[in-house]
Each structure stands twice: as C-alpha cells, then as structure tokens.
Structure 1
Amino acid sequence: MDLCVDGVDLQVATAGRGGDLAPIVFLHGFGSTKEDYADIVHQPGLAGRPFLAYDAPGFGETSCADLSKVSMPFLVSTARAVLDDLGVTRFHVVGHSMGGLTALLLAHEDPTRVLRFVNIEGNLAPEDCFLSRQIVTHAGEDFFDGLVERTRHAPSSSNALFAASLRHKARPGGVRGILESLVDLSDHGDLMSKFLSLPLPRMFMYGAQNSSLSYLTKLEANGVELAEIPRSGHFPMYANPVAMWDRIAAFLS
C-alpha cells in the first residue's frame, strides 16, 4: 500500500484475506512483523475469518521515507490510515506489546470501531517497559547492538529467538523514537484508565512467566478476561502458539 502519513511516504507491506465478517486486525510488537500472525490460516477455530496484518513503519518489508518521524503516535496514525484506505470501519484487534499499545490508543480514539480487543502484553503501566526503558538506562552506548545482545541473554522464553532476528526485522533509525515515546506513554499516558474504560469486550493475554504483573487482579476485577499462556514469556506466538491461537479463537468467537 502506498500511503502518506503525517507528510511521510510509506509503502506498507500487508497480508490478509477478505470475507463478509468484520476482519481481525493484527498489530505486531517491536522487532516483529506481520508473519507473527500468518498462521491464522491454519487455525480451525478461525477458518475463513477475514484478517489484516501489516509491517509497521520501521519493521519488516514496509519502507518509510523518514524513520526519524516514527513514534508511537505515528504508528497510531499509520494504523488509522491503513484501515481508512481499505475501507475497514469495524474490526476486531489483536495487538502484541508495542502493537497492543497501538491498538489501545486507536481504540481510545474511537471505541465504536472496535468489536473485541485482545491485548497481548501491551503496555499498560511503567513496569511493562522491561525492554523499552533500556533507551534511557543505556543511552550512552551503541544502543541497538547492545539491545540485541542483552535481549539474547535474558532468561525469559523465546528472547534468544526474538533477538536472533531483530537486526533483520527492525530498522535502527526508527528505534529511538518508538521506544522513547513508548516509555513516556507508559509512565504518563494513563494507559490503564484508557484500557479499563473501553466499552467493549477485552482480553489481556500474558505468558505464565509474567504472572507477577501487579495489575492482573485489577484487570480481572474490572471485567477484563485474563488469558495466561503456559510455558511462555512475553512472546506466546513463539513459545506456545497453539495455546495462544486457541484462546484468541475462543474469545473472538
């Protein structure tokens, strides 16, 4: 797709299929791509469901004329532009990490467009910046290479797998703007209130290794369905995709 977002020319790489039902829109996380969700076509519980996935600016096969303009607000503007260009008025959304925050901000702008929201460890509080806050704590070094190596040796499931492809999937020129704005929103964006106030069915999915997140009981008490994925950390699509897809299919059905 050829788009111009906030004065920046984009060629957005997409994957998807059509159909009569409202589509499922997938928004990938930092350092990932649309292929995180390509296996939807192999899920019996989602057979024939229309969907859309795309590479966010700064990642995968999408090209961006000015990576210095990429930030969380820019990613939200891009999502809105993609949906508008395709004529998608109502949709289900599944967002992971950075993509979960993108989905939250998009839904907060106009909740009438979103039917159901699966938030896979999208940022809701300062404690969620375990990776992104390194842009602050390790500011005085070759940040991108250091980020790859620190992630590779982190103990949680699938971190080494994620780190191995990070240099191929992420453009270094877009990293700082995304991570700095992500940390700022997590610290000051009142994200929890935004999520809890959405007038639509919501699921918060998390890996069992992250079951210590302090706000899980608050989410459940406010009507959010919790989905703990066993034998998984921050990346259930890598560590335990079968359980992830089963929970997504059940919720969206």
Structure 2
Amino acid sequence: MSTTIAQVSPGTAGFDHARVPLVVQGVALDVATIHRTGPLSPVVFLHGFGSTKEDYADIVRHAEFSGRAFLAWDAPGCGETHCGDLGRVSIPFLVDTARALLAHFGVTEFHLVGHSMGGLTALLLAHAMPERVLSFVDIEGNVAPEDCFLSRQIIDYPADDPQHFFDEFILRTHGSPAYASALYAASLRHKVRTGAVAGIFRSMVELSDHGDLMDKFLSLPMPRMFMHGEQNATLSYLPRLREARVRVEEVPSCGHFPMYSNPLHMWSAIAKHVAS
C-alpha cells in the first residue's frame, strides 16, 4: 500500500499532510497525518478524545522547535481518519495504530507527547518500547481511576442508543464550569464518530481501574513530565509524582485543555522538557 502525500508550499502551513492506509488488528484504516522532517529527533503527538492532530500543528509556529521533526495523526474514530470498523476502536487498538505509524514513517527514537486519551495511549506505548522514547510529556493522561471524569460517564449515564448518550455527553460537557469546556464540546460532533465512543470510554475506564497505570508511569526510565491545568491541582496523586522525581507542570488559567486555554505555556513547557 502506498502513502498519498500532499505537499504544502514553503511559507504556508510549514508541514506536510499524508494519508496512510493501514490494517490494524484486521481493520482497514486510512489515517490522516501531519508531519515535517528535520535534523532533530522527532516529537510524536497523540491527541485526546474529541480532539484532532491539529491540536499540535502550531509546533511549527514556535522558534523553540526550529529543526525539530514531528508527527501527529487523527486517531481512528476521530477527525479525518477513516476506520473500517468503529466498534473495534479501543485504547489497545490505538496503541497498535501508533506502532504501525511509527513503523511506516521509520521513526525509531522519539519524544512523546500525549493528552488525555492520547496520554493514556502514549503511556502504554512508552511502557511497551521504553528504549525508543527519549522523553515523555503526559498532559492529564489517565494514570488513576479519578482521571475518568469524562470516560466514566459511559457507566454513570447508561443509554441504549449510542447517539443519545453522545448527545447528552456533549450537553453535560458544554455546561461544565471548567476552562474551555464549551469550546471543546462545540466541535465534538464534527471530530468524533459516535460508533467509536463506547469502545474508547470503556477501555479507558477498564485500564484506569485495573491497568496498574501509575506503576507503569513511575517505572518508565525516560525523563517524564506530567502537565495539568490549574483547576485540576487537587489530583490526589500529584505529590506521589513529585516524590518520584516526575516533573509536574501546572498550567495557569487552565482546566483539562491547555492547548485551548493556555497554549503558550503548554508549548514553552514542552520545549524546555524536550530540550533538556
């Protein structure tokens, strides 16, 4: 199978688009990616539930990342990626998709950044191949049961109709008092396929409750940073992370979405971590 690459003129976007056909766990995918090459080790970005690869496109706008290659994609069930069987999408499926894309692009060693769902996916990826990950930035990715404030709604608000559940989820999210919640909720219908929601959420809850995620995170050998919004400074495990010499970065004026609420702080913290 071949990759279709749409070249972007220099001076415009600053990165390239490519659609990558893959087969993961027997499911046909057509993955939408953005990337650029460069002399410095790449940063691989994994977006959260309800977001897309464009959360990270602004890496090319920040001088701290000059010369830094990067790769980001829309997870199956999200954005512009096409998935042949949405019911198969889960966190383990997303990990296998990441492995396939790393192989396709020939990425061997890389810096890893993941947000929320993408942070959990990145944690499992880093745990599976720690020798290849140069550094890891976990932006409020699940490491404990308390992190399922979005995904556990699949259990707390059961519905026979997947579309009804998703509609009500969007309404609840839109009314949340957290920073950027309304902005985030407004685009959920456009960024997520309804058929993928239950599988993603149930696997996130299962892994958060029974996947020993904190132990996995603390056992990683590479430099790690856990980034959280100011509104989530009460997360019970933050002292444990600090005691384990994980860099904990609090983002001011922010909830769960630093890329929407305080992107300048987010990019500066990521740049410092990757450079160090």
Whether 2:218 is the aligned partner of 1:218: answer no
Structure-1 residue corresponding to 2:111: 92
- The unaligned stretches of length 5 or more in structure 2 are 1-19
Output one character per residue of 1:107-153: Cα deviation in whole Å (capped at 9) or x when no partner. 11110010000000000000000000000011126210001000000
1:48 & 1:11 partners in 2: Cα distance? 28
Give the partner amino acid of 2:212: D
Shift of 1:20: 2.3
Structure-2 residue corresponding to 1:82: 101
Shift of 1:217: 0.5
CA contact (8 A) 2:39 2:67 kept: no
Q: How many residues align?
A: 253
Higher relative contact order (CA 8 A, sep 6+): 1
Structure-1 residue corresponding to 2:14: none
Structure-2 residue corresponding to 1:41: 60
CA contact (8 A) 2:142 2:148 kept: yes
Structure-1 residue corresponding to 2:179: 157
Shift of 1:22: 1.6
Give the partner amino acid of 2:174: R
Shift of 1:48: 2.1
Give the partner amino acid of 1:203: M
Structure-2 residue corresponding to 1:130: 149
Structure-2 residue corresponding to 1:71: 90
Equivalent position SS for 1:56: coil
2:223 & 2:159 partners in 1: Cα distance? 42
Shift of 1:37: 0.5
TM-score, scaled relative to structure 2: 0.91
Output one character per residue of 1:194-239: Cα deviation in whole Å (capped at 9) or x when no partner. 0000011000000000000000010010010011000000000000
Structure-1 residue corresponding to 2:219: 197
When the two chains are superposed, the root-mean-square deviation of aligned CA atoms in Å is 0.7
Out of 213, 219, 227, the position equivalent to 2:249 is 227
Shift of 1:68: 0.6
Give the partner amino acid of 2:85: D
Give the partner amino acid of 1:97: S
Shift of 1:85: 1.0
